[in-house]
């Protein structure tokens, strides 16, 4: 858990809001040391970067590179497989006063999994995700949701140790080998799919056919007018997601390639 927490803290360093705060702190130090012109320049750069990162135009530009090859195909064209793999990330854990996990922006993963199962695309669902917030695993919380939506408990297999995508693949691989599964439908968010599929392909090599089924597409259909340049918290969130995925994919490519 310590390594997981450290990775989460380190990931904050790549977010535009963190960059802007650090630049403003640096400018205050420079201003205090009488480097006023440089301090003003750095503040301006921080504000421009924060504004740009908060616009729909910039967020969509970054997300295009991640999502463009993972449009949702018609479900009728998705081949049948032996298992559906649902990656963790669709809940925010338990909250005070609640008895079920709170769904977050990636909850579409659950609906995609449900539809695949209801269309008999695979007879089992492997739900993977460890304990990241509180004392209950993501896999267990998502299992509760899936059962509430109508998937029988005997069709769900839990993997409750994984704390990142690499571990999702490694620990799931052990389950699939025991079950002698040779084909899977991989369900995760579209912006995360490039990295997830690459890691699963690397983990399984040619043992398992990995078919991506992306959900939770982040690029909204909108008019590219002036409104695309108006900053918002939602767009800042999408930009942060994209930057994290782009850097994460690059790091995995450098460290996991065989």
pLDDT, mean over the chain = 88
pLDDT for residue 113: 97
**In which order are the strands placed within the sheet that holds 83-87?**
156-159, 125-128, 83-87, 183-189, 209-215
DSSP conformational letter for 75? G
d(CA 238, CA 235): 5
pLDDT for residue 94: 66
d(CA 4, CA 200): 20
- For 106-156, the pLDDT digits (tens) are 889 999 999 999 999 999 999 999 987 767 899 999 999 999 999 999 999
Domain 75-215: which CATH number of 3.40.50.150, 3.30.1520.10, 3.40.50.300, 3.40.50.620:
3.40.50.620
pTM equals 0.87
d(CA 169, CA 144): 22
Q: What is the phi/psi pair of residue 224, to 5°?
A: -75, 65
pLDDT for residue 11: 64
- For 177-233, the pLDDT digits (tens) are 999 999 999 999 999 999 999 999 999 888 899 999 999 998 876 656 677 889 999
Average pLDDT (31-55) is 91
Using 50, 70 and 90 to split pLDDT, how confident is the model at 8?
low
Domain ranges within the chain, ordered by starting residue: 2-67+232-256, 75-215
């Amino acid at each position: 858990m310590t390594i997981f927490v450290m990775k989460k803290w380190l990931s904050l360093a790549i977010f535009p809001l963190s960059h802007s705060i650090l630049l403003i702190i640096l400018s205050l130090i420079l201003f205090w040391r009488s480097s006023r012109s440089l301090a003003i320049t750095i503040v301006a750069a921080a504000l421009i970067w924060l504004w740009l990162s908060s616009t729909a135009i910039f967020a969509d530009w970054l997300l295009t590179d991640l999502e463009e090859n993972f449009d949702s195909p018609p479900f009728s064209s998705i081949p049948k497989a032996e298992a559906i793999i649902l990656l963790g990330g669709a809940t925010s854990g338990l909250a005070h006063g609640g008895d079920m996990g709170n769904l977050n922006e990636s909850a579409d993963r659950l609906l995609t999994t449900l539809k695949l199962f209801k269309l008999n695309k695979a007879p089992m669902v492997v739900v993977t995700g460890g304990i990241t917030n509180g004392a209950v695993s993501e896999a267990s919380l998502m299992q509760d949701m899936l059962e509430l939506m109508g998937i029988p408990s005997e069709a769900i297999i839990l993997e409750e140790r994984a704390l990142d995508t690499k571990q999702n693949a490694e620990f799931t691989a052990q389950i699939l080998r025991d079950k002698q599964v040779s084909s899977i439908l991989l369900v995760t968010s579209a912006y995360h799919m490039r990295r997830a599929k690459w890691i699963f392909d690397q983990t399984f090599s040619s043992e398992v056919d990995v078919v991506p089924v992306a959900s939770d597409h982040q690029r909204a259909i909108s008019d590219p007018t002036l409104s695309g340049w108006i900053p918002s918290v939602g767009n800042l969130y999408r930009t942060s997601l994209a930057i994290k995925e782009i850097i994460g994919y690059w790091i995995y490519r450098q460290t996991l390639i065989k």
